Structures are given as C-alpha cells and as structure tokens.
Amino acid sequence: MNKVTAGRDVFGEFAPKFAELNDDVLFGEVWSREKELSARDRSLVTVTSLLASGILDSSLQFHLQTAKNNGITKQEIVEVLTHVAFYVGWPKAWAAFRLAKEIWQD
C-alpha cells in the first residue's frame, strides 16, 4: 500500500494529531501488518465494517477502490455485498452496490 497522506491533506492544519494517527498509525502501522492479515483480507473486513456501520460516503468508495486494487474481483465483491445485505440492511447494500458498480465497471 502506498503511503497515505489523506489525513494530512484534509485535516493537517485543523486537526494535526488526528491526521497523524490516520496516516501513520491506521494506514501505516495497522494496514502494514500483512503477516497477520493480508491487505486483501483487510479490505474485505473494512468494506464490511463500513457497510455495517452505515458509512456509505467517500470512505466506502475509497475502500471499495482499495479492495479492487488489493485483488478483490467483481464476482467476489458482488458476493460479499449480497451476503452482507441480509445482515446489515438492504438499503445499505443497495448504496454500496452503486459505488461498486462504478469501480468495477471494466
């Protein structure tokens, strides 16, 4: 995974500690623990967690794109979203499918 600077880019001046934790700890230390859990698997967990929490904005879009970049196929994301729909809610899955359809359009 490339070094993430989104926290600093968006909140660096306003909330510098939050930006640092986002970029260095979450996307630096946590996501880099690939011996414990692969980036591909972390993507599946993260997409599912965001969806379950009702976070259907640019965060989910970013993590869907990251999931694709980490090797999740269109068929796999469709299966994950279909499965999760029954646990987290149909409208949430519908929103996630709209985002996923754009990302996996090729």
What are the extents of the domains in the chain? 1-32, 37-103
Task: Tell me the pLDDT of the chain (106 aa) as tens digits.
Answer: 568 898 999 999 999 999 999 999 999 999 999 999 999 999 999 999 999 999 999 999 999 999 999 999 999 999 999 999 999 999 999 999 999 999 999 8
Q: Which CATH number fits domain 37-103: 3.40.50.2000, 1.20.1290.10, 3.40.630.10, 1.10.357.10?
A: 1.20.1290.10
Cα separation, 19 vs 82, in Å, equals 33
Overall pTM > 0.85: yes
Residue 105 CA from chain centroid, whole number:
18
Q: Which residues contact 82 (CB under 8 A, 6 or more apart)?
A: 93
